[in-house]
Structure 1
């Protein structure tokens, strides 16, 4: 292995073993518990290469990538430079790509990205930095791209190429259809690629339609390639790239022909690989309880039968004969799984008082629980668990909601301008003098400019009062609504600060104040660098520091997911059914967040509005339960308990 050493084996989620375990895979890959550990080891390999090259009196030529995937790699390289003296004097870099047209000083340019995350923090020579120039006139682009190729050749070729991967399978900006022998060139970006970048550009309409990119042929000449992929949203394309046939439709599959490539993945990105998702299809399994649950539900969905209708033949036909032999019969497996899934369903998410809670997901006591719902943004609570929120209040529990961030960056300028102009109509002459600069800024602000503190405050107030409208609609007193405005978020830009002790202390103080029996937190972590991930990390750090408090012995943590992905059925520990009336009430609560309803800035690739996404996801969960042979409901919200 190129990346790992023996002392690091314990951080692997699952390392490839015998040939049969990886027989579907055509690219070497390593799977880690989390992206942070993986990134440190990739940085370690790069550092060792730099040092080795210097000892040989040679330059080290690095091909570098941008995007969220390599951020932790660059952070570790910066740490190695500052704390351990890693010297970059012999390093020459060539970046993969750049938007076109794009001014290098624009905050969205890759020139800006690389200097912010790496170059301005290390001692690399400025003349050794090569990033495609997005300001090159169109009539000079062809010669510029040829010169970029020549510069790589003159530097001796790329020793180590770092890559990310887009959901189209693009590497660099080599979109589907790119030829195996393509070189550095201008390319038109796929809609999905632009959609994924929309959040950084405050909407897809602002994302450039073209880019300069190194070609496939440029990349395949690198001596060593490491591709990084984090999160569940990359899982499908990773499976196709590693297990599929080589095709221009998925450019990453070209790496199957490179002799020194490793895909470095976290659990989410690896989750669709055959040996991870359905290991019984590649060989004998050690059938843990979790794997058994996963396998039975998969089989039920595969053969389209209710759990109780599965037969011995079904288990034998789909690679699960060893499980059948272990348990004795399909009947034993089926009834156990059916009972488990049935016991996840409850209309009492806070526990049902005076009921036998032996097989219920929540405790019966105390009758009235103190409940703290953490919402990363000011609408995640009602989008993700609005029906359960309603049930908890309706059933008499002391419910608190904590909005961890202001969410101000997600308010479009035109939406803020609307509120500012309404305020203008009511303002005195003196107040109009204060409002005038604010209105002027909103009218004239350019797309790449950072919001002023005054504009951020206005946008924060918009989202705060939308949240209060929703919580009042749910019957919650304002005293139980907490706006934390965690410092890590308040940068005024897409890029956030790392979490700090100050963030943790704010959350700790609130938990200490409420002493909750239940905590609900967002657990949809598809983007390892996203706000939801940071917000959950802050909660977990806070709980770790509070673990010795007496009330913590009776505190349970429930994770929910947002509008995009639901938990897999075998992961669900509590499913709360919603009636048609509750579905409608949840929709109405979401509608209070008007600034996020129409033409939302961070829509992603899904053009549906958030309330539609949430309803469709909840209905789909209910249908999946029904198809397993369980009761039929209009919709269901799902939760997974995380034991502290």
Structure 2
């Protein structure tokens, strides 16, 4: 991220191959395929700043953020300190915000977060750490906030401000309506902000309604600002921030007026930017097969026509004249795209025996395939691909399901208490006393306190029983159901450990045992809690390590998506239609997961239950296919083939 001064008005931060100026974008941004690599680069910039300041005998004043976005930046800074000797003795830090009221030792506090991820692992002086006090009495808040501002100015102002962004467009806790000149103050949190925080607090009712935050003016006073955004769930607000007008309704747009700001994005967060989503509106394109598919489907949706009804004029009027010139006519483009979409549709997800598979998404042979469905949580299999699961079993394939995590933290205390009390009535002696202890632990647990290992074990057993109920309903033998209980998940909190060699070994052993022809895995990286991503990373790591083995030559990996987003139509390689009866059967399979119904803990701001989301999404996919001029179905489940 080197600064190149091009003229008096603009400072452009260039990274070859990562960024193009377009007329749509008003904030410099860089897009990376990996948030890990991007985080390392940001940490490197911070480290260079700290060292340069030290060489001059100066303090380095950092504005720091919390949340999931900067975690890997802090991890890299800790590594640089421990392995390369980076010193933080000249660093003075000011955190953006803190919930109010909030005790410092509460695991949900930002004070706890910063010490857990950074301060406990580096040599920063304790007196140089500044985090808003979440226990300051209300009558003293104004005085306290003014003093916080004054302290920043007294040390020379912020050299570098690290930011994340909320889906309301907030930076810090500057919610919509925040003023351009606002300073450090108390603010009332937006409902969406609280809904996003709800999983960490075990429900929105436990999320504080207020916070203390640096103001927009305070943030903008920093000499350098870097904002991080990862994941598709940030894509809409990133587009609005980078390409929209400056507006208090999206406070991050105020950064358009700052001359030394960079947005560091992954492909998910950048996916709605015009130059990425519809690059033909920006300039000439290299019309790859994927881009051609994306463009034609976009055109259909824009002009509200089916594929075969698109005309030369439609292409010319909507920025796709060069594609039309390349192919000669709309007719040729339309036929090719229609056939491509038609060939994704199959009622035989495991391949159709004795059929020409030239234009089918799956191979005809072997007739009976060994299939391994990985499910990150104990209900992702039936929520995301319950109809396909049913088809595979019905069509005679050897289907295995592997539940990667126990899912125990998603079981509410009242559900666990219900099961414990039933068990207590059926036992006596030492067993009864053990259950009495569990009941006491559940009833006496304080708000946000981590469950004991015994309670977590009970909750895991509840989810295991529900999963077995669903797989038996689908006709699967219990010996084909595998509960992996991957260690990375077993922390008892929302925060998970990184994947370990033990996680990798467990998955590897299972794949080598089954030797599958098909592997299904969750590719829904919009999962706001990160479990899906870690689970997929483990699978990809294993497949990469063993791809040289003979059985792997016949193993195909299919990705499905979960409850948050579906694949875009141009991304779909296999679409499995569901009849009305199969939609109902899928719903019944989901209903076996009773602990996840009626106010599920981790549904985000979408108040629909997961079975409703799944049905709506599957029906919407079928409608989109029909609108392209293809056959009409009740619902469709979508998959994308991944080449490892």
TM-score bracket for the superposition, by shorter chain length: over 0.9
Q: Report what 1:8 is aligned to.
A: none
Counterpart Cα distance in 1 of 2:596 and 2:364:
37
Q: Residue deviations 1:561-617, cap 9 Å, x none? A: 001100000000000000000000000000000000111110101000000000000
Q: Post-superposition shift, 1:3? A: 8.0
Q: Report what 1:200 is aligned to.
A: 200
Q: 1:474 to 1:405 in 2, by over 3 A?
A: same
* Secondary structure of 1:316's aligned partner: helix
Q: Post-superposition shift, 1:450? A: 1.1
* Secondary structure of 2:499's aligned partner: coil
Q: Report what 1:393 is aligned to.
A: 393
Residue 136 (structure 2) pairs with residue 113 (structure 1): no
Residue 129 (structure 2) pairs with residue 126 (structure 1): no
* Secondary structure of 2:401's aligned partner: strand
Query: Structure 2: 5+ residue runs without aligned partners?
Result: 5-13
Counterpart Cα distance in 1 of 2:2 and 2:247:
27
Q: Post-superposition shift, 1:120? A: 0.2
Q: Residue deviations 1:489-515, cap 9 Å, x none? A: 111111111101110000000000000
Q: Report what 1:286 is aligned to.
A: 286
Counterpart Cα distance in 1 of 2:104 and 2:430:
41
Residue 72 (structure 2) pairs with residue 72 (structure 1): yes
CA contact under 8 A between 2:202 and 2:448: conserved in structure 1?
no
Query: Structure 1: 5+ residue runs without aligned partners?
Result: 5-10
* Secondary structure of 2:464's aligned partner: helix
Q: Report what 1:427 is aligned to.
A: 427
> In the comparison of the two structures, how many residue pairs are matched?
635
* Secondary structure of 1:200's aligned partner: helix
CA contact under 8 A between 2:527 and 2:564: conserved in structure 1?
no
Q: Post-superposition shift, 1:448? A: 2.0
Q: 1:614 to 1:481 in 2, by over 3 A?
A: same
* Secondary structure of 2:268's aligned partner: helix
Q: Report what 1:247 is aligned to.
A: 247
* Secondary structure of 2:559's aligned partner: strand
Q: Post-superposition shift, 1:432? A: 1.8
* Secondary structure of 1:176's aligned partner: coil
Counterpart Cα distance in 1 of 2:467 and 2:180:
51
Counterpart Cα distance in 1 of 2:413 and 2:470:
22
Q: Report what 1:575 is aligned to.
A: 575
CA contact under 8 A between 1:3 and 1:41: conserved in structure 2?
no
TM-score normalised according to structure 1 size: 0.97
Counterpart Cα distance in 1 of 2:429 and 2:180:
66
Q: 1:252 to 1:436 in 2, by over 3 A?
A: same
Which stretch has the larger CA shift, 492-501 or 55-64? 492-501
Counterpart Cα distance in 2 of 1:428 and 1:235:
55
Q: Residue deviations 1:307-364, cap 9 Å, x none? A: 0000000000000000000000000000000000000000000000000000000000
CA contact under 8 A between 2:526 and 2:564: conserved in structure 1?
no
CA contact under 8 A between 1:13 and 1:267: conserved in structure 2?
no
* Secondary structure of 2:147's aligned partner: helix
Q: Report what 1:7 is aligned to.
A: none
Which stretch has the larger CA shift, 423-432 or 273-282? 423-432
Q: Report what 2:190 is aligned to.
A: 190
* Secondary structure of 1:347's aligned partner: coil
Q: Report what 1:600 is aligned to.
A: 600
Residue 378 (structure 2) pairs with residue 375 (structure 1): no
Residue 628 (structure 2) pairs with residue 622 (structure 1): no
Q: Report what 1:403 is aligned to.
A: 403
Counterpart Cα distance in 2 of 1:218 and 1:115:
23
* Secondary structure of 1:366's aligned partner: coil
Match of 2:18 among 15, 20, 42: 15
Q: Residue deviations 1:116-135, cap 9 Å, x none? A: 00000000000000000101
In the TM superposition, structure 1's runs of 4+ consecutive aligned residues that sit over 4 Å from their partners are 11-14
Q: Post-superposition shift, 1:2? A: 3.6
